[in-house]
Amino acid sequence: MLNNTKSNLRLIVFIFLCAVGFFGFSLLGKANRVFELLGCSIILILVCFHLIYSHKEITLKKNFNIEIGILILSVILSSFSAKLFHEQAMWISYYQQRFMYYFFIYFLFHYLLISTKKLEEILIWIAIIHSVIFILQQIVYPYKIIEANVHINRGNL
């Protein structure tokens, strides 16, 4: 899809950061949700572009097509049941289940052809950064640097 491997890696890092809402930094406020939706949108748009404009067949075997299809189908079915039994608007269901759309990243990985080793490195670095931010939040409590529910009586402080 994209020819530049560095661009692909930057795109994946940005999508991962959107998925975690940029770690919930307090300074971003409600923009965290915008980033979450932006990450989903980027994934869906790129997968659609690839399906429409790419004429080459992916040579990698996609092992989880059925399982991811079932998960996405469950989003649709649960939206209908929420509408039918709880009179909840469909758009609210689709919005609240926005994290389920990140499963489409599986297809995007196949289209971008990023190596497993690079993906592991990205995930490890994001986990390390997240851990450091979480530890910093514990140190500077009660000042909030991330939007996390940190309470003494919950045992997470």
DSSP label at 58?
A: P
Q: What is the pLDDT of residue 92?
A: 86
Q: Quote the radius of gyration of the chain (alpha carbons, Å).
A: 18
Q: What is the pLDDT of residue 124?
A: 92
**Could you tell me the sign of the dihedral formed by the alpha carbons of 76, 40, 111, 71, in that order?**
negative
Q: Which positions ≥6 away from 35 have C-beta within 8 Å?
A: 17, 18, 21, 22, 28
User: Along the 157 residues of the chain, how does pLDDT read in single tens digits?
Assistant: 455 578 888 888 888 888 777 666 666 667 777 777 788 888 888 888 877 777 665 555 678 888 888 988 998 899 899 899 998 888 888 888 878 888 888 888 888 878 889 889 988 998 898 888 888 888 887 777 776 665 556 655 5
Q: What is the pLDDT of residue 57?
A: 58
